[in-house]
Chain A
Amino acid sequence: MDAFRVLVERESRAVVRSCYRILGDLHEAEDASQEAFVTAYRALGTWRGEGPFGAWLARIATRLAVRRAGRRRPVAWIDPRPIPMDGGASGSRDSVGEAALTAALGSATDPAHLAVRAERAAAIRTAVAGLEEPYREVLILRFFSELSLNEIAIQADRPLGTVKTHLHRGLQRLRRSLEAEGLA
């Protein structure tokens, strides 16, 4: 139990973050994360020991979160929290999509910007949730759980080339879906 507590404390932030990116609500994300931890504890005997434990846990959590998201009605949450500008994806930004990013993040406290950001986030979540498997899973694990393609290949038990193909096609489909929503 103590060893599992260490795992919970180490992985909880990443797991909750992944679930939050899918669900858009912190309370729901924590519920899904807790369910994921309990499920993982119950299924510890089935863990094959391939790849990091966090990647295995992330796959469980994102599946549970997607299932939760599919059970509820789509809601656009307006989150008044200040937006972290130095997120995990920091680094040199490409010009593609930068304008939209800057526009959305431009004013963290402006209610109008918050509303726009919430609507945009909800639209992206809806578009991701509307993707078919396995494209949805690959996109979620790559962008929301921040797994590498190698880790996704190990966890999903698929060849790396197949995962790359799924990522490629998933992004294409997401692009078309966002264009249909007028977001891209």
Chain B
Amino acid sequence: MGERWTRPDRFRPDELEENAIHAGDQAGLLAAARELEWLAVTDDVAPSAGFADRVMAAVAAEPTPRPVVAAASAARRGAIFGVFAAFGDLWRVAWTGGRPMAVRAPAMAIVVVVLAATLGAGALGVGALGGLLDRPAETAQPTQVASPSPAVASPSPSPAPSVSSEPSESPEASESPVPSETPEASESPEASGSSERQATPAATPRPTATPRPVATPRPVATPHPTERPHPTETPDSGKTPNPTATPHD
């Protein structure tokens, strides 16, 4: 707390030597500075009598500044920011000079205690975390290994090879499933030609579904049934081959 500082001189543009000032700018800066200096000259006042007494009365009504108490009260209130601010004040009081030892000693003690508690809690936390990580690491290994392995395997077949293999398998199975998929003939309305002729008798007489297992070998002889006279001739609808004609009937 040194002596009151000396008043600075009137403003001069060379106070701003690090900032390039143009000639026109300089006059403007000086004019603004002179306005402020004029105000400072005209507003040179002194406090009224008894001002210091009033200030001291107000100060006496204030509690003594005790950063330790402030930190404790902030902790009691649960104000986290207050605790941090109080700890910062304690740190400054403890480690910066210019204060009596009676003020610094409790602040140092609190800082040391808080630091020790923080470090201890941190060490305990790290130890506990390490213990927790060690235990499940052995038991959880299979689960962890199992979970990524399908995750890794699933994307790999999906991109390329599985698609290529599926069509290769489909023709192989097409021979066996073709009979089983003979109901596709019911979907034959989409198709045209011989399948339409098969569909017309199959659609009109419902029992045609029963001979289907018998007809499983027919796919091999698909051209023959079309030439067969029995199903086609019975309805005599050879002249009206379209299934659309059957509803008209």
Contacts and interface: CB of A to CB of B under 8 A. Distances in A.
Contacts of A8: 52, 55-56, 59
A146 B4 CA distance: 11
A97 interface: yes
Contacts of B21: 168
A81 B9 CA distance: 25
B33 to A, nearest CB: 6
A172 B41 contact: no
B96 interface: yes
A80 to B, nearest CB: 13
The bracket for how many chain B residues form the interface is 35 or more
Contacts of A105: 38, 41-42
Interface residues of A, number: 78
Interface in A133-148: 139, 142-144, 146-148
Contacts, number: 204
A100 B37 CA distance: 12
B149 to A, nearest CB: 58
A119 interface: no
Interface-centre pick from A12, A41, A54 (highest chain B CB count, 10 A): A41
Given A5-B56, A30-B51, A175 B28 contact: yes
A96 B33 CA distance: 10
Nearest to B30: A96
Contacts of A121: 39, 42-43
Contact of A143 (B16, B40, B45): B40
Contact of A10 (B4, B27, B51, B56): B4
B15 A149 contact: yes
B51 A12 contact: yes
A38 B54 CA distance: 11
B40 A172 contact: no
A78 B238 CA distance: 120
A167 interface: yes
Contacts of B30: 94, 96-97
Contacts of B54: 34
Contacts of A45: 65, 67, 89, 92-93, 103
B29 interface: yes
A89 B41 contact: yes
A110 B96 CA distance: 55
Say whether chain B's binding surface is mostly helix, strand, loop, or mixed: helix
A84 to B, nearest CB: 5
Given A38-B62, A164-B15, A87 B40 contact: yes
Interface in B37-74: 37-48, 51-52, 54-56, 58-60, 62, 65, 67
Interface string A29-43: 110011001100111
A107 interface: no
Contact of A101 (B5, B18, B38, B103): B38
B227 interface: no
Nearest to A148: B8
A101 B34 contact: yes
Contacts of A4: 56, 59
* Top 10 A-B residue pairs of the complex, sorted by shortest distance between their CB atoms: A97-B34, A87-B41, A143-B36, A175-B32, A53-B1, A16-B47, A96-B30, A49-B98, A175-B28, A174-B32
25 contacts: A8-B52, A8-B56, A34-B54, A38-B62, A45-B65, A48-B92, A53-B2, A83-B42, A91-B10, A94-B30, A97-B33, A101-B34, A104-B38, A105-B38, A121-B43, A124-B39, A143-B11, A146-B40, A164-B15, A168-B19, A168-B21, A171-B28, A171-B32, A172-B25, A172-B32
Interface of B: 1-5, 7-11, 15-19, 21, 25, 27-48, 51-52, 54-56, 58-60, 62, 65, 67, 89, 92-93, 96-98, 103
Given A34-B55, A45-B89, A53-B2, 10 more contacts: A4-B56, A89-B41, A100-B38, A101-B41, A104-B38, A142-B8, A164-B15, A171-B33, A174-B32, A184-B35
